[in-house]
């Protein structure tokens, strides 16, 4: 037995209770399946609706400037504004009035002018009264018919014009060209047919269509001179008179013909190069030729070899010489100033070196003297004798103990020289500080203390 949908696949026989229970389960399952399908269908439809709403096209509102032309709006506003200004000006002009005093004065002036004109008219009429000419009773007066007279005058005028036209012989219209656009044939030939030879060497331009050449009876291999002759003969009505033959500027440009001025300029340049080669190219002769000025008449009447110097040239030469002298003077002054500063600097630094050398020599001399004193006057051991009084120096003690006169004089000279050297050093140190050489004074003091 095959198990159907909702049936349990088993070979065991089911009793009634189990079968009933199985049927209930199948029904419940069927209901669930149906409810699930319904829910899925409902969800599918809702999603479809939401998707349609989500992807619905919503355009951005069209700007006002796109719907309505901004330029037209501005123009209309300008027109309205101008109309309002004009209305306002008219209203102000109509409603305006002069001040009371000026209005009364203007009215009085107008009344006086009218009274004057009226009186003048009355006086004129009184002086020149109108008296109509008395009519002649024998002659009949009548008003002429001006319309009939004008009609007769017009008719006579037209008849006269017709007779004049018949009597005048009309001429035939002849072709003409503007002189500014016409190039005669002799210009294309050039002097001694030099341009003609060059036109014969040039072929017709490839930019000219072949159809235009066929109309003239030419081929693309034709020369420009053949083309010029065909066009000139056509313009000259196939006459042999070269004075009447030529080309228009528009035709020359249309058929891409080289202008005759091109060949004439080229020929002139070549002739100039051949004739004036040495003058045009000065390097072939080692430099330019000397320019010889025009001879000027001298005081005696004879012509001088060189032109006389003008006043402007003389002033220019004088000014140049004056400037050179000033520049030389400035250069010499600057050189003297530099040498003076160099000399002062050498003197200053030379004095410093001399002082340093003197100090070094003095220090060495002091050291030698100290060594000699130490050798001559050894130190006395403590307790060996009574201490020396502080008021007396070693020199005085030596003089007192040593009775020899020569030794006394030597010791006095040494003590005096030492005191004078100390005083000189002090004066020199103060002088260095006064002139701004503090470093030299400090070095001197440091060496003295050492």
Mean pLDDT of 363-392: 64
| Band of residue 158 on the pLDDT scale cut at 50, 70, 90 | very high
Q: What is the pLDDT of residue 74?
A: 86
Mean pLDDT of 398-416: 60
Q: How far is CA 227 from the centre of its chain?
A: 50
Return the beta strands (E) in 173-285 as ranges.
182-184, 246-248
> pLDDT tens digits for 193-237?
888 888 888 889 888 898 888 888 888 889 999 998 888 888 766
More reliable by pLDDT, 224 or 173: 224
Mean pLDDT of 421-437: 78
Percent with pLDDT over 70 in the chain: 71
| The residue to which tokens 């000399």 are assigned | 343
Q: What is the pLDDT of residue 400?
A: 52
Q: What is the pLDDT of residue 161?
A: 92
Question: What is the C-alpha separation between 178 and 166, in angstroms, rounded?
Answer: 32
| The residue to which tokens 């200053």 are assigned | 348
Structure tokens at 115: 């009274």
The set of residues, in sequence order, having a beta carbon less than 8 Å from that of 233 and lying 6+ positions away, is 239, 245
Report CA-CA distances (Å) from 391 to 106, 335, 378.
131, 63, 20
Question: What is the C-alpha separation between 325 and 333, in angstroms, rounded?
Answer: 12
Return the sign of the alpha-carbon dihedral for residues 354, 356, 361, 366.
positive
Number of helices (H) and strands (E), helices first, in the chain? 16, 2
The set of residues, in sequence order, having a beta carbon less than 8 Å from that of 252 and lying 6+ positions away, is 183, 259
Structural contact between residues 397 and 411, judged by C-beta atoms closer than 8 angstroms: no
The set of residues, in sequence order, having a beta carbon less than 8 Å from that of 408 and lying 6+ positions away, is 399, 402
pLDDT at 295 over 60: no
Structural contact between residues 224 and 256, judged by C-beta atoms closer than 8 angstroms: no
Residue 279: enclosing H or E segment and its boundaries?
Answer: helix 277-280
More reliable by pLDDT, 131 or 115: 115
Torsion of CA 390, 392, 394, 400, to 10 degrees: -140
């Amino acid at each position: 037995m095959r198990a159907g949908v909702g049936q349990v696949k088993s070979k065991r026989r089911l009793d009634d209770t189990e079968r009933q229970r199985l049927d209930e389960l199948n029904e419940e399952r069927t209901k669930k399946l149906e409810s699930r399908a319904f829910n899925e269908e409902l969800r599918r439809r809702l999603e479809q609706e939401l998707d349609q709403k989500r992807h619905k096209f919503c355009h951005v509102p069209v700007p006002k400037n796109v719907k309505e032309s901004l330029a037209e709006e501005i123009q209309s506003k300008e027109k309205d504004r101008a109309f309002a200004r004009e209305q306002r000006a008219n209203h102000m002009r109509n409603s305006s009035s002069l001040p009371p005093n000026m209005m009364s004065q203007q009215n009085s002036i107008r009344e006086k002018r009218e009274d004057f004109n009226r009186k003048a008219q009355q006086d004129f009429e009184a002086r020149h009264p109108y008296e109509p000419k008395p009519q002649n009773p024998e002659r009949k007066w009548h008003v002429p018919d001006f319309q009939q007279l004008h009609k007769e005058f017009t008719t006579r005028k037209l008849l006269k014009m017709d007779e004049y036209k018949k009597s005048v012989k009309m001429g035939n219209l002849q072709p003409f060209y503007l002189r500014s656009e016409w190039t005669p044939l002799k210009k294309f030939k050039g002097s001694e047919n030099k341009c003609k030879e060059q036109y014969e060497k040039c072929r017709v331009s490839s930019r000219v269509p072949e159809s235009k050449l066929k109309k003239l009876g030419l081929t693309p291999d034709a020369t420009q001179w053949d083309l010029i002759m065909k066009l000139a003969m056509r313009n000259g009505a196939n006459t042999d008179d070269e004075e009447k033959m030529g080309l228009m500027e528009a035709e020359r440009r249309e058929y891409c013909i080289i202008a005759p001025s091109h060949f004439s300029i080229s020929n002139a340049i070549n002739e100039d190069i051949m004739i004036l080669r040495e003058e045009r190219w000065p390097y072939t002769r080692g430099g330019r030729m000397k320019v010889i000025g025009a001879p000027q008449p001298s005081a005696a009447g004879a012509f001088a070899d060189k032109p006389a110097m003008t006043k402007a040239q003389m002033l220019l030469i004088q000014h140049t010489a004056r400037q050179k002298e000033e520049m030389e003077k400035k250069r010499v002054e600057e050189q003297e100033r530099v040498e003076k500063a160099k000399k002062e600097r050498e003197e200053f630094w030379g004095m410093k070196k001399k002082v340093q050398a003197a100090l070094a020599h003095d220090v060495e001399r002091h050291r030698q003297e100290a060594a000699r004193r130490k050798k001559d006057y050894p130190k006395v051991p403590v307790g060996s004798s009574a201490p020396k009084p502080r008021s007396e120096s070693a020199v005085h003690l030596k003089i007192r103990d040593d009775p020899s006169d020569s030794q006394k004089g030597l010791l006095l000279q040494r003590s005096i020289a030492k005191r004078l050297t100390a005083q000189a050093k002090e004066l020199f140190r103060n002088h260095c500080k006064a002139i701004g050489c503090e470093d030299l004074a400090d070095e001197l003091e440091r060496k003295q203390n050492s």
